[in-house]
Amino acid sequence: MLYLIFSIICSVLVGVIFKVARKYKISVTQIATYNYGFALLLCYLFFEPKITDVTPVAPWALYTALIVLLPTILLLMVLSIKHMGIVKTDAAQRLSLFIPILAACLIFHEAFNNYKLIGLLIGLPALVLILYKRADKSANKWLYPTLVLLGFGTVDVLFKQVALYKQIPYTTSLFVVFCGSLVVAVLYALYAIIFKQHKIKIINLAFGILVGIFNFGNILFYMRAHKAFAENPSTVFAGMNMGVIVLGSFVGVVAFKEKLSKINYLGIFLALVAIVFITLSQLKK
């Protein structure tokens, strides 16, 4: 259970770091670059990937899609945190679990049971209520958390497909994806430096290392939690998604004074209920 708690904390801390970083003149693209560089180093040290296993017949189409999506979604997540806050961004990220569920049904023809159907029917209005914001003079930036949801959901589907490719260890595939994501992040950073006059600063390195540590920590502890609960993966599934929503909401409201309406709180409650039903659907397979 300790691994699961650490994974939840690491996931929420990534959002906290970006929230705190807003107080400084930072470059998000540089932070993303340092993040993938440090995460890549930790991946090499902890997982000892077998690079020789990566051949031309590896699932390069999946790798390429993930390589482009991961740094792009990270930037979208930062924009979502900036405009909509940690609470709504974390909730949107966790509700992205509905994308692989829909993919399982529509693409991979997996049968739906009643629990999964109820979970989906509750989850969709939950998302609308979470992202609801009364009209005011500023534009409603609901588009950012929506893109976060779609992005993380798509990444989840792609990683599940990578995991099915048994010829290459999953951790080695993860290392390859991190390598490519670093390259894409560098290109984003160079564009910002050349065309937007972003300056190279030590503070970007500091925040980037922190994000890299907690991003990797989230992955490492999540994998170890699944190993510890190998006979009951639904415990990890439910605990992770519900834990991030609850802790993210607590941190956002208490530490950063994010304002939520009663409608938003109702959405968060419904999101937790939806996750319970999705978890039950796994138990009833």
In this predicted model, what pLDDT tens digit does every residue of 83-104 receive, in sequence order?
Answer: 889 999 999 998 888 888 888 7
Q: What is the pLDDT of residue 216?
A: 96
Under DSSP, the state recorded for 49 is -
Q: Is the pTM of this model over 0.85?
A: yes
Distance between CA atoms of residues 226 and 213, nearest Å: 20
In this predicted model, what pLDDT tens digit does every residue of 30-78 receive, in sequence order?
Answer: 999 999 999 999 999 999 998 998 999 999 999 999 999 999 999 999 9
Distance between CA atoms of residues 263 and 251, nearest Å: 19
Q: How far is CA 216 from the centre of its chain?
A: 12
What's the domain count of the chain?
Answer: 1
Question: What range defines the domain where residue 18 resides?
Answer: 2-283
Distance between CA atoms of residues 154 and 101, nearest Å: 11
Q: Mean of the pLDDT values across residues 243-250?
A: 94
3-state secondary structure of 89: helix
Half-sphere exposure of 69 (CA within 13 A, CB side): 20
Helix axes 202-228, 233-250, angle to 10 degrees: 140
User: 155: closest CA among 44, 68, 239, 46?
Assistant: 68
